[in-house]
Amino acid sequence: MTVREPAWTEQDRAEILALALYRSRLCPLHGGPLDECTSPEETGAQFSAERSTCRARLTLIEAQRAADDGKKPSPYAGARLWTVKRRG
Ligand SMILES: [Zn+2]
């Protein structure tokens, strides 16, 4: 009989359960605590929104548009693999 090391230690299991519990309390829409954003508007947390741009994603969108050369995207465009790398 072969005795193998378990792939997950007790510590691993405890940590993954704690992470799952933490994530279950986060809002799937904005990523913050669910109890905050679903609290009563009159008595709960207040929010403000700001807009910024992910320049890495912007670069990707620009490259994808350039690849289509102003034409309608190829029906195979969804199969293309793109990567964005940081320069400098
Ligand atoms: Zn939310």
pLDDT tens figures, 19-30: 999 999 999 999
Ligand 1 mean position, distance from CA 85 (Å): 31
> 3-class SS at 33?
strand
Average pLDDT over residues 51-75: 92
How many Å apart are CA 78 and CA 35, to the nearest integer? 37
CB atoms within 10 A of CB 39: 13
Ligand 1 mean position, distance from CA 86 (Å): 31
The pLDDT score that the predictor gives to residue 2 is 81
Average pLDDT over residues 8-14: 96
Q: What is the pTM of this model?
A: 0.58
Mean pLDDT of the chain: 94
Give Cα 10 to chain centroid, integer Å. 28
Indicate if the pLDDT at residue 64 is higher than 80.
Answer: yes
Ligand 1 mean position, distance from CA 31 (Å): 6
Ligand 1 mean position, distance from CA 6 (Å): 38
Indicate if the pLDDT at residue 44 is higher than 80.
Answer: yes
